Structure 1
Amino acid sequence: MRDSNKKIIIFDDDEDILSICSYILEEQGWEVFTFTDCNNITEKVSRVLPDVILMDNWIPDAGGIIATQTLKKSEELKNIPVIYFSANSDIQILASNAGAQTYLAKPFDLEELEKVISKVLIS
């Protein structure tokens, strides 16, 4: 069991993904925060100050790239690792344009989700 104050934010407008990911991560001791849009993203992230952020490419309104770039411009938030996730075939390019640490292609299995989260926490 991980220590219970690890926090993660998931930005995705797909309720199914939010509920599945939340369930799995809470089982592992994460405190999970979910948002279905990226409006006022710096305020949302500042309130939680998570260890990791999962960012969907098609998040309303501005989209994942702009949302991630906004976070990376903030002194306070720029070091929080962002895992970009999307069903786009060019996810690697999108993640790199956004300034995300890494990416996870949808659909993903839960093992991949866990692996990619542990990877960014170590680095």
Structure 2
Amino acid sequence: MKNKTILVFDDDQAILDIFSIVLEAGGYKVEISSTSHDIIEKVAEIKPDAIIMDNWIPEIGGVEATRLLKSHPDFQQIPVIYCSANNDIESLASLAGAETYLSKPFDLDDLERKIADIIPS
């Protein structure tokens, strides 16, 4: 079975490191990006099985980047976990069209559960 790839969009290097360590320990291949303006090109190149999207990602922001992805016929089926410290994260995730969301600071068990829910094994 090939490793599932998760593409993480976040501008915080510490957060990217945590996602990378935890997800790689879980057997996933992790790709990272600190900007979201080229989301379509990135997704086309990496072909991830899931995406973790930060709300405050530079350039166009998480909501707009997720909407771009979800409006693209080739990539709209890729599940997105919307990630933010905002207290209205549920409505932001819904606005963006994400499948689910993860509050920051996140619980590692919660992260693993969300990933397991959206990526079929």
Q: Normalised by the shorter chain, which TM-score bucket? A: over 0.9
What is the root-mean-square deviation of aligned Cα atoms in Å?
Answer: 0.9
In 1: Cα distance, 2:9 partner to 2:19 partner: 11
Deviating above 6 A after TM superposition, structure 1's stretches of 4 or more consecutive aligned residues are none
Match of 1:79 in 2: 77
Q: Tell me the percent identity.
A: 51
Unpaired segments of 5 or more residues in structure 2? none
Match of 2:90 in 1: 92
Match of 1:20 in 2: 18
Unpaired segments of 5 or more residues in structure 1? none
Match of 2:118 in 1: 120
Q: Offset at 1:28?
A: 1.4
Contact 1:6 1:30 in 2 (8 A): yes
The reply to whether residue 50 of structure 1 matches residue 48 of structure 2 is yes
Question: What letter is aligned with 2:116?
Answer: S
What TM-score does the superposition give when structure 2 sets the normalisation length? Answer: 0.96
Contact 1:11 1:54 in 2 (8 A): yes
In 2: Cα distance, 1:95 partner to 1:115 partner: 17
In 2: Cα distance, 1:42 partner to 1:34 partner: 14
Q: Offset at 1:4?
A: 4.5
CA deviations over 1:52-97 (Å, ceiling 9, x no partner): 1000000011000000000001111000000000000000000000
CA deviations over 1:8-61 (Å, ceiling 9, x no partner): 000000100100110111111111000000021100011111111000000011
In 1: Cα distance, 2:46 partner to 2:82 partner: 19
Match of 1:36 in 2: 34
